């Protein structure tokens, strides 16, 4: 059985504050962000809970490297990445819960 790892980007709103992370359980991780279980965290402070982008890999090292790469990008590059897969900045959370 393969294990998957996800690099994801959350936003507060379209063109809003962005957060990039990595996880092995995307549904659970986004649920935690949406329900503000981390009361003092960055995502809670800025209302960041919309899943606007994610990608999947079977290699944890690739996922971590990709997260670091995206985190080091200019904001405009991150926005272009989001727009390339999700031009309307829809919340993709319900899509992944199916």
Using CA atoms, how far apart are residues 26 and 68, in angstroms rounded to an integer? Answer: 17
Q: How confident is the model at residue 38 (pLDDT cuts 50, 70, 90)?
A: low
SS3 75: helix
Mean pLDDT of 79-95: 97
On whether the pTM is more than 0.85, the answer is yes
Q: How confident is the model at residue 65 (pLDDT cuts 50, 70, 90)?
A: very high
């Amino acid at each position: 059985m393969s294990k998957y790892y996800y690099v994801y980007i959350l936003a507060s709103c379209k063109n809003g504050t962005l957060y990039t992370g990595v996880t092995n359980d995307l549904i659970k991780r986004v649920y935690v962000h949406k329900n503000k279980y981390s009361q003092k965290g960055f995502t809670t402070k800025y209302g960041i809970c919309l899943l606007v982008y994610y990608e999947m890999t079977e290699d944890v090292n690739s996922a971590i490297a990709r997260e670091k790469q995206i985190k080091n990008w200019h904001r405009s590059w991150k926005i272009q990445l989001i727009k390339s897969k999700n031009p309307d900045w829809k919340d993709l959370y319900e899509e992944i819960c199916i």
